[in-house]
Amino acid sequence: MKKSIKSLTLMLVSGFVLINFSYCSSKAKGENVTEEKSVVMDAQPVEEENAGVIHLTSETFRDQVFDYVNSKEWNYKGDKPAILDFYADWCRPCKMLAPHLEAIQKEYKGEVQIYKINTDENREVAGAFGIQSLPTIVFVPKEGQPQAVMGYRPQADLESIITEVLKVEKPE
């Protein structure tokens, strides 16, 4: 009896993993999968940047972060270090990461700006950066080259990277 329950549990878990993998693969390939579509806000005006995380479109990304269309050499347009969160609404690790990024935006009190880019709705930006795994988090110092990490990271890890790469200490 115990063996059959273990077998059944293993089959159910395996089935869930396969279904989830198929769903994610279908979404990554752009196949039609029924789900609700969220609305992405355009970038907020510059004077409100400290208020929270900013959602960017391809156009606002070129205006506020980097004009990848007209320049092949990295030239960050921002006036403070930034974190670029390449995500998709269907991505579970992306959903787990979002609260950490929102908390960081508040805790760092305007010392770092977090931008979110929905890769399903802004494929041009994702393609320009070669995004192939979600979430991809790009740490952009004021000067120097950006550095990326892929996958979910706990908030403590993100804060360590902010200190090391962005050279920003958490305000007291």
Q: Where are the beta strands (DSSP E) in the chain?
A: 54-56, 82-87, 113-118, 136-140, 147-150
* Of 56, 83, 84, 94, catalytic: 94
* Of 91, 101, 131, 158, catalytic: 91
- Reply yes or no on whether 24 is catalytic: no
Pair 119, 85: CB distance under 8 Å: no
Sheet of strand 54-56: strand arrangement: 54-56, 113-118, 82-87, 136-140, 147-150
Q: Considering just the CA atoms, what is the radius of gyration of the chain in Å? A: 18
**Residues classed as catalytic:** 91, 94
